[in-house]
Chains A and B, each alone.
Chain A
């Protein structure tokens, strides 16, 4: 056990899995860096440094820098996965999935089903996601709902360094195509992370905090905000459970439903666009399966239905914040009291 950053935790996951299994290869733009240049090799290790040091250990045969041709190399990762390799392809920013969407949603996602179970495609597509870096509309999106929509893809959104390492190892070992999203505002976050390899199973939510009064379901970076809010609200006598599904597909509905059955109240914090998103999805699941347990309407904390803006005050207003989570929780608690008084 030692303190590691999110970036280091991921790097360790790649290193350990590459040592364990020679079929694991990495592909992506500048994931090592300096290809064909006269200067330092492995100069970047990926745009934000998560794969630094891997090329020197494993060579350019297993750490493949690519031209800027996402359709080709993401698709090649799918084809290689179906034929014996275990590729981890980095789509630098998840926004760029627009370039290679077909290879993800029509090819890798559907092989197994369309081919009647005759294909296995153990590929990981990893990408940076999320707002907060003033990176504007084409470099800041939180697109897990898009991938969750497609049957055949597993979708992972880790909420801390420990989670990132264990979930990445599971993603690499998993035999289905996995979309793995890394929040760019979390790469320098640190916590205690085991030194040895460990896998966190998909479809098992983590309850960061148990609570009696209200359930807060959150994803990725929003889990941190939910935890901060829960801490603060505890001081006000409101006991919040914080549930982190870890994977949006598969989704651990049981843990969410059990918590809501206990608390009777639900707030969902989702950095993705509000329409057709996870907050909407979970609301519908709870409405269908735990309606009787609800003491108050479900409340969603999401950005508005707009692209991600550039300017600081706009982006700050766009992204959910701990203050907005707290306000939502108080609102739900109050709605409940008002209903009780009526």
Chain B
């Protein structure tokens, strides 16, 4: 696809979103090391093209089901960065009132059905959101993001069949970052070809290079347009690598030495984006630098705000189990 198909403002917005994810995660990586952030934190750095390349085609009326590695999906779907950061710090005015944390950030007003602590938890929920859209004839759709590990979970495979037989408007997005915890996706995905697996369910699929925002964007555009015009489910297999451990604190000894360093040096999606748009003369380096500065300031404000924000109080413990009881 040519760059020309994106307007300047679309390019700037995509870059801002990807950079927001990257800086959010890199900052969390630093902050986690200080011991101030509780719980399990799974960083999305290196995979920005998937969340942004897909969600740029969605509106707040479309829904996404996410994973334990959900920060990127949240940001791409428009969740408030400050409220996300507060949630990760367990603060009372976090996006989930401090009850969910990193693994459960959700904002239904933005169509974000929640990060998910259960691998394979998201795809059935996305099918449900798609069922609502289909029933109410909203022309909306739902996206199920899942990892290479999640692609082997029964719920994911059942959802693909369910979406097919009911012709649900669902986009299945396999985020193949090479590993599920320590286990390589080459080993865990039997048969070796995810697109063929999707086709086995009667779902058209395509494999794209996740280092290239434009490839992901184009594939998602085509899939979303097809779904909106009634194709039923579609599938995209996106390949890239995760930059950090499975969770923060993982020493990653199962990876060959230098793997991440090389990816970062030669295949980083943000560098790639910058080169493409500046070499083509569509945007200037200064325009992007300006965004970098703004995003950095935003993240700093978010971290400072999260640190300073009040914790929940004991009375909050028993609220919101039910609407009424």
A interface residues (Cβ-Cβ under 8 A, vs B): 29-30, 33-41, 43-44, 47, 65, 67-72, 95-96, 98-99, 133-139, 304-307, 309-314, 317-318
Contacts and interface: CB of A to CB of B under 8 A. Distances in A.
B265 interface: no
Contacts of A70: 153
A101 to B, nearest CB: 12
A36 B253 CA distance: 13
B39 A135 contact: yes
Contact of B150 (A68, A136, A309): A68
A238 B317 CA distance: 32
Interface of B: 38-40, 90-92, 96, 98-101, 103-104, 116-120, 149-150, 152-155, 179-190, 252-257, 259, 311-314, 316-318, 321
B144 to A, nearest CB: 15
Given A68-B150, A68-B152, A314-B314, A35 B183 contact: yes
Chain A contact residues, majority secondary structure: loop
Given A30-B183, A69-B153, A136 B100 contact: yes
Contacts, number: 159
B147 to A, nearest CB: 9
Given A37-B254, A312-B311, 20 more contacts: A33-B181, A35-B183, A35-B188, A36-B185, A37-B179, A37-B255, A37-B256, A67-B188, A68-B149, A68-B152, A96-B118, A136-B103, A139-B103, A304-B318, A305-B321, A307-B99, A307-B321, A310-B38, A311-B98, A311-B101
A33 B314 CA distance: 40
8 contacts: A34-B183, A35-B187, A36-B185, A40-B253, A68-B119, A135-B40, A307-B321, A314-B314
A67 B183 contact: yes
A304 B322 CA distance: 13
A39 B120 CA distance: 26
B189 to A, nearest CB: 8
B101 A313 contact: no
Contacts of A304: 317-318
Contact of B155 (A34, A35, A99, A310): A99
